[in-house]
Amino acid sequence: GPSRNDAPVIDPHYLETEHDRATFRMALKRARMVGHHAALDEWRDTEILPGAPVQSDAELNAFIARAASTHHHPAGTCRMGRDTEAVVDPDLRLNGFDNAFVVDASVMPAIPSGPINAAIVAIAETWAASSRATPSSA
């Protein structure tokens, strides 16, 4: 098994299912339709990526697999609550561990509509103030 010294494996399993690949292909095809609309004729130039010759599902899948990447901040992966199924309690203590806390976007139930960094700073500052006020909890 893995050692505690091993780097974490983070694999969101993107493009693992045909549904995932079909969704990406549809998005790319629709973006092309928008880009080729007559209203954009005077601004449009040659398609650079994936390039006009890339048309088949297999070619599109290959391009998407090379080009797709994560540009978001994962959130909501460590549910907070008072029940036994919650990962962290309302004070951000990691359930089942002593003196371990989760102080990041994973405790947020959803990504906020504004900049996520501000929400993360608010979580961290609130936790830091609370932990300074009660030294036994840190």
H or E element at residue 19: helix 18-35
Question: How many angstroms separate the CA atoms of 88 and 81, rounded?
Answer: 6
Question: Going along 3-130, which residue ranges are E strands?
Answer: none
Tell me which of 37, 71, 72, 73 is the catalytic residue.
73
**pLDDT over threshold 70, residue 92:** yes
Mean pLDDT (whole number) for 100-104: 95
Residue 73 among the catalytic residues: yes
Question: How many angstroms separate the CA atoms of 110 and 80, rounded?
Answer: 12
Q: Decide: helix, strand or coil at residue 88.
A: strand
pLDDT band at residue 138 using 50, 70 and 90 as cut-offs:
very low
Question: How many angstroms separate the CA atoms of 63 and 56, rounded?
Answer: 11
pLDDT in tens, 108-133: 988 888 888 999 999 999 999 998 87
Where are the domains positioned within the chain? 18-67, 73-138
- Which tokens in the block code for residue 112? 């906020």
Whether omega for the bond prior to residue 50 falls within 30 degrees of 0, making it cis, is yes
Amino acid 113: pLDDT: 84
Average pLDDT, the chain: 91
Higher pLDDT, 14 or 57: 57
**pLDDT over threshold 90, residue 34:** yes
